[in-house]
Copies of this chain bind each other. A is one copy, B any other.
Amino acid sequence: MQNSCQNENIKISNAPRFGGEEIRVVEAMIDVIYPSVPFPSNKIFKNMGETKIREMVWHHHGLLLKTKLAKLFPANEDAFAMVVDKSADFFVEALGGGDIFTSVHGEPHLRMRHFKVPIDENDREVWLSMYKKTLKEIDFPLEHLEEFWNWIEPLSIRMINRRTNMEAIKRHYWSSVKKEF
């Protein structure tokens, strides 16, 4: 089976002509492979604590509001605050701060929770670049940056639910990102 998007190996020019004497089978195809996601250890929580993690999530959402992703969030201030607080609960729990998200909301099911909002490849680029900006602007512990980045970078791919092109989803590996910090 050909994975035409991920390996960019689209052999369209080799396609036989249509409507010949025989049925012609075009191979099965995989679109996106959602890469594995290394969830962080509790080192980050132990270093930062709950308050700083919450501040980070609020900082990130403040930046998102200045982008085209603003339209994905509630316009009402209180409703927006609820969304950000919920996201902060998730980050606190994921980083090792206990079950404050799952005890209220159940399993994260992040991909499922985002289905109601169309999120395309470029939306994910914006989300991730605003996280990079956040990590530069807040006092994120440098020794844990790699572990954090290696989590959110593939995690963000799982939220994509609207495809707009045949290209492989762009990866932003730590090896290419770390020089910016």
Contact = CB atoms under 8 A, between A and B. Distances in A.
Main secondary structure, interface of A, reads loop
Contacts of A23: 38-41, 147
B12 A115 contact: no
Given A26-B37, A34-B30, A163-B115, A42 B15 contact: no
A93 interface: yes
Q: How large is the interface on A (under 10, 10 to 19, 20 to 34, 35 or more residues)?
A: 35 or more
A28 B35 contact: yes
A166 to B, nearest CB: 6
Per assembly, the copies of the chain total: 2
A149 interface: no
A39 B12 contact: no
Nearest to A116: B164
20 contacts: A1-B33, A12-B107, A18-B96, A19-B41, A19-B45, A19-B93, A20-B96, A22-B41, A25-B38, A25-B39, A26-B39, A27-B36, A29-B158, A30-B32, A31-B32, A112-B165, A115-B163, A118-B118, A161-B162, A161-B164
